[in-house]
Each structure stands twice: as structure tokens, then as C-alpha cells.
Amino acid sequence: MRQSHHRSVVLGTGSELPARVVTNAALEELVDTSDEWITTRTGIKERRVLEEGKGNADMAHRAAVRALHDAGVDPKDLDAIIMGTVTADYPFPSSACVLEDMLGARKAFSFDVNAACSGFLNALAVADSMIRTGMIRHALVVGSDALSRLLNWKDRTTCILFGDGAGAAVLGSVNDGHRGVLSAKLRTDGSYVKTLYVPAGGSLKPASAETVKKNEHTITMNGKEVFKVAVRSMEEISREALDEADIDVEQVSLVIPHQANLRIITALAERLKIPMSKVMVNLDRYGNTSAASVPIALDEARREGRIRHGDIVLLNAFGAGFAWGAAVVKF
Ligand code: COA
């Protein structure tokens, strides 16, 4: 248990989903798959796809404006913008810089965090540490990804899983040891880099006519391996985060897990002995939105009245790297 009385509290949340809906039936037209297979193996029914000509920061901006409005915080009062993403508008600079300009958040320093589906958890942990040390007072933490841009729409093992979206939370410093982010734990295992990755487009293999021809700018994944390690790792790190916060699993009001696969979520809930009635699920509508999945679900949970004052919420995520994390937040 941490000794400091300065904590970061969630002052507001917001999210954005692109308008274009792609149903499982629509995917049946693209690859050899079926609504029945996708639904039973993943729980996903439809996902959103960002329109052409728009970038990640456009979605992040809408989510951020809603979160700032919800929090009652002016963009000019933000000290930091930290965005979890693997689909920034440009190879550099960061999408957080693009977002800073869109918001007119002139006082803030801004940067992206690359931790794939765990990006929001990593960004949250960084912002929380900066707030607790007194370095900053207000942070905008964002998870925003447009994985549709990295999909091979001819690969049925990956294109059915992912969708686009953005979620944001405004964190503020309070002098109250009893609420806010009670703990945050992060982990990686780099021996799994090639289990889930985009082979080309980085410094090792820059874009060329050949990499494009060989489809090396799209997601390559061993889904079975991801599944196995995801359940085990999210259980372990959730328990560590709960232990550090001195919270028993029975005290948790709601779990907000990364939305990758309903079977991963139900296996995790079983292992943690948490009933599914206490677990947030929205992947049927959005698929796996990478770094955006946890903050979108958090925002929906708050708007649906599923999080009340004093509630203890467990967030957890797992993704490429492998990178994973968990946080316990008291509202
Ligand atoms: N439609 C129809 N059939 C499909 C299919 C699809 N979209 N994708 C794969 N199949 C086929 C396979 O080719 C295989 O056929 P075979 O038995 O003839 O070889 C069969 O279905 C079973 O495939 P398998 O890979 O064993 O299925 P699975 O039950 O492991 O489910 C995933 C596959 C990808 C849904 C699952 O492994 C998963 O969700 N993993 C985690 C992935 C993830 O979350 N990644 C992101 C992490 S952030």
C-alpha cells in the first residue's frame, strides 16, 4: 500500500466510435467465414471502421472533448496528454502532439505510449505516477487505435477480430488517500514479439514495393498462443494489483477487461471467481479496439450508471509485446 496521500482521481471520461458499422455478415462477403463461427469463437457481432481521410487523432479528439467536458476541465489546464496507440497519424511525431494542437492544450507536454492493447493501462500508470510525485496536476489519458488500417482483409484469422475507436479519461490530483488510482501494475514478455506483430514498416524492414506485395504491413498473429498467455497473465496481474491496493476480489464492483474475445473474458472471470454480472462486455458491438477498448468500456460503464461513488473497479488488458497490465481504481 502506498504511503502518499496525493492520488489521481478520474474526473471525467469520454469515447468515440466511428459511424461505419461492419457486421459479421459483411465479412462473409470478404473471406471464408460465417456469423456463426465469429460469434461462437469470439462473441463479436460487429465492429466500427474509421472513414478514409481521417486519422487516429480525429477519433481521439472527439473522445477527449467529451472527457474534458465531463470532467469540467479546460484543455488549457492540462499539464500532460498521454496516448496509448500503435496507429498514430504519422510514424512521427506522436498522435498526442496532433491531439494537443486540436485541443489547443498549449500548456501540456504530449507523447504516445506504444504498448498495443495495453496502451491505455500503460498511459494511465505513467500519468498516475506523475500526478503522485507532484510533477503534474491534470492529465488527459487516451487510448485510441485504428487497427482497420493494419488489417489484411483477406486473412480470416485476423480481420474478423478488430475494430476502430477511442476512449479518454481526465485524471486530476487530489489530496485524499482513500480514492482514485489505488494501484497500477505493468508487465511485458518480449520473447513473444513475433506472436502478434506487423513485420514491416519499421526501421528493420522499411516499406518497399516488396513488403507491400507480401502484405507485411498487416497484422500477423498466432491466435491460440495469444489466447493461452492472455488469460493466465491477466489473472496474475489482476491479483497483484488487488494485493497492492489491499482490496479483496469480493470488494470489486466492476471489472473492465480488455475486449479481445468473450471466451478470454469469461475464462478470466472464472479464474478470478468474479460473476459475469460484474464484468463489462461490449465487444459484441465494437470487436477488439486495441488501446481504446478499456477506456471505451469505462466510459460506457459510467454512462450506464454501472459505476457509483465509492465503487472499486478493476481494469486489465493484454496485447502485443506481449504487454499487459491491471489497475484498481476507487471512484
Ligand atoms: N472463420 C471461419 N473459420 C476460421 C476463421 C474464421 N474467421 N478463422 C479461423 N478459422 C478456422 C481455422 O482455419 C481452423 O480450421 P482447421 O481446424 O480446419 O485448421 C479452425 O477455424 C479453428 O481455428 P483456431 O485458430 O483453432 O480457432 P480458435 O478457437 O483458437 O479461435 C481465435 C481463433 C483467433 C478467435 C482465438 O484463438 C483468439 O481469439 N485468440 C486471441 C486473439 C486475440 O485476442 N488477439 C489480440 C490480442 S490483444
For residue 4, is pLDDT > 90?
Answer: no
Atom of ligand 1 nearest to the CA of 317: 48
Confidence of residue 301 (pLDDT cuts 50, 70, 90): very high
For residue 329, is pLDDT > 70?
Answer: yes
pTM of this structure: 0.97
DSSP 89: S
Interior angle at CA 153, CA 201 and CA 289, nearest 5:
75
> How far does the centroid of ligand 1 lie from the alpha carbon of residue 223, in Å?
6
Confidence of residue 150 (pLDDT cuts 50, 70, 90): very high
Q: Which letter, b or e, does each residue of 57-78 get, where b requires 16 or more Cβ atoms within 10 Å of its Cβ?
A: bbbbbbbbbbbbebbebebeeb
pLDDT in tens, 58-103: 999 999 999 999 999 999 999 999 999 999 999 999 999 999 999 9
> How far does the centroid of ligand 1 lie from the alpha carbon of residue 161, in Å?
10
CB-based contacts of 37, cutoff 8 Å, min separation 6: none
pLDDT in tens, 315-324: 999 999 999 9
Fold of 181-330: Peroxisomal Thiolase; Chain A, domain 1 (3.40.47)
- The pLDDT assigned to 176 comes to 79
Share of residues in the chain with pLDDT > 90 (%)? 97
- The pLDDT assigned to 177 comes to 75
117 is catalytic: yes
Identity of the residue numbered 18: P
Phi-psi region of 321 (alpha: psi -120 to 50; beta: other; left: phi over 0): left
> How far does the centroid of ligand 1 lie from the alpha carbon of residue 322, in Å?
19
How far is it, in rounded angstroms, from Cα 64 to Cα 17?
12
288 is catalytic: yes
Q: Do domains 7-177 and 181-330 have the same CATH topology?
A: yes
258 is catalytic: yes
> How far does the centroid of ligand 1 lie from the alpha carbon of residue 312, in Å?
34
Three-state secondary structure readout of 296-330: HHHHHHHHCCCCCCCCEEEEEEEECCCEEEEEEEE
253, 307 contact by CB (below 8 A): yes
- The pLDDT assigned to 174 comes to 94
For residue 1, is pLDDT > 50?
Answer: no
Confidence of residue 178 (pLDDT cuts 50, 70, 90): confident
pLDDT in tens, 263-297: 999 999 999 999 999 999 999 999 999 999 999 99
Domain ranges of the chain: 7-177, 181-330
Pocket of ligand 1 (CB under 6 A): 33, 37-38, 41-42, 117, 156-157, 160-161, 221, 223-224, 226-227, 260-261, 288, 319
Choose the catalytic residue: 24, 117, 138, 261. Answer: 117
**Which protein residue's CA is at the shortest distance from atom 30 of ligand 1?**
224
Task: Specify the DSSP element, H or E, that contains 286.
Answer: helix 283-286
Q: Does domain 7-177 have CATH number 3.40.47.10?
A: yes
Mean pLDDT across the chain: 97
